[in-house]
C-alpha cells in the first residue's frame, strides 16, 4: 500500500498540515465510484506544492497522500457535523460539494467506514499528534497551520464568492486573538482579500488540536483556488506564475507563526 502521508520533520515550533491534497484512490474504492467520484473534483488541488518552502523555515510539513473521497481527515471519526444546519460533506463523503453522488450503488456502511478510519484516518492523526507532542516538549508551545483550498464559488455551500484567504480559529477557541491578529496582518495588503472566522472557521483538525491554554495554537487557512490556478479548466493544472504572489503571502503567514 502507498504511504498514508509524507512527513518532513523540523525543529521549529510549527507544523503545517495538508490533509486534502492527496489524489491516491485505492482500486477497490475507485471501482465503486461514479465518474465524477473518480475525478476527485473536491481535491485541494496542488496545496502541497504551495507549501514546499516550509521545511526551509525549520517547520514540520505533514501531507496526506490519499484522496478525501476515501476518508476526510478533517472530520471527526464520530461523524459530528462542523456547521449544523448548513450543507457539508461527511467523514466518508457520499456526494460532492455540489451534491452529486460519488457512489454508483450503496455508500460505505459502518464497517467500511471503521476500516477506512483505522487504515487511513488514524495513522495521519497519530503522526500529527506525535509531532505536536514532540515540538511542544521541545519549546513549551507549538503552532499548527492546517492548509486547504476550495473553489471560490459553490452555491450549495455558501452565497457569492469567497474571499481569497479564509482564516479560521473556531471563532477564537483554537488560537489566541493576538496571534491570529498577527497572522491576518501578515497576509493583509498584498492584493488578496481575506476574512477571519467567516464561512470556514476551521474543521475537526483546528477544533480538536487547538488548545491555546495548553500552548497549542491552531489556525486553518482555506484558499480560494482562483488565487493559484484556473478554476474553470477542465483538467486541474498548477499555475506557477499565478501561484507565485500567493506563495509570497504564505511565507509571510508562516513567518508570523514562527515569531516568538
Q: Mind listing the pLDDT tens digit for each residue in 66-111?
A: 999 999 999 999 878 888 778 778 999 999 999 999 999 999 999 9
198-210 pLDDT tens trace? 999 999 999 999 9
Q: How many domains does the chain have?
A: 1
128-183 pLDDT tens trace? 999 999 999 999 999 999 999 999 999 999 999 999 999 999 999 999 999 999 99
What is the chain's alpha carbon radius of gyration, rounded to the nearest angstrom?
A: 17
Domain residue limits at 35: 5-258
Query: Residue 166: helix, strand or coil by DSSP?
Result: strand
- Say what the pLDDT of residue 31 is: 98
Report the sign of the C-alpha dihedral through residues 98, 227, 238, 28, in that order: negative
Domain CATH number, residue 83: 3.40.630.40
The gap from C-alpha 227 to its chain's centroid, in whole angstroms, comes to 16
Please give the grid coordinates belonging to residue 32.
465503486
- Say what the pLDDT of residue 80 is: 80
Amino acid at each position: 500500500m502507498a504511504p498514508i502521508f509524507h512527513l518532513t520533520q523540523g525543529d521549529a515550533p510549527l507544523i503545517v498540515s495538508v490533509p486534502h491534497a492527496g489524489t491516491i484512490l485505492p482500486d477497490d474504492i475507485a471501482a465503486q465510484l461514479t465518474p465524477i467520484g473518480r475525478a476527485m473534483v473536491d481535491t485541494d488541488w496542488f496545496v502541497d506544492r504551495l507549501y514546499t518552502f516550509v521545511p526551509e523555515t525549520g517547520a514540520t510539513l505533514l501531507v496526506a497522500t490519499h484522496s478525501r473521497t476515501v476518508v476526510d481527515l478533517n472530520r471527526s471519526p464520530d461523524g459530528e457535523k462542523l456547521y449544523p444546519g448548513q450543507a457539508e460533506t461527511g467523514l466518508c463523503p457520499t456526494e460532492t460539494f455540489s451534491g452529486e453522488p460519488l457512489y454508483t450503488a450503496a455508500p460505505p456502511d459502518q464497517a467500511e467506514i471503521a476500516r477506512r478510519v483505522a487504515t487511513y484516518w488514524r495513522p495521519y492523526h497519530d503522526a500529527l499528534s506525535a509531532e505536536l507532542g514532540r515540538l511542544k516538549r521541545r519549546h513549551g508551545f507549538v503552532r499548527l497551520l492546517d492548509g486547504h483550498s476550495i473553489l471560490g464559488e459553490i452555491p450549495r455551500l455558501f452565497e457569492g464568492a469567497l474571499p481569497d484567504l479564509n482564516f479560521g480559529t473556531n471563532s477564537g477557541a483554537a488560537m489566541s486573538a493576538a496571534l491570529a491578529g498577527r497572522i491576518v496582518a501578515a497576509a493583509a495588503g498584498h492584493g488578496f482579500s481575506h476574512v477571519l472566522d467567516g464561512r470556514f472557521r476551521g474543521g475537526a483538525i483546528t477544533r480538536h488540536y487547538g488548545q491555546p491554554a495548553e500552548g497549542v495554537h491552531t489556525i486553518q487557512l482555506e484558499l480560494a483556488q482562483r488565487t493559484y490556478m484556473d478554476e474553470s479548466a477542465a483538467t486541474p493544472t498548477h499555475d506557477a506564475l499565478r501561484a507565485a504572489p500567493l506563495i509570497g503571502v504564505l511565507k509571510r503567514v508562516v513567518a508570523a507563526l514562527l515569531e516568538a
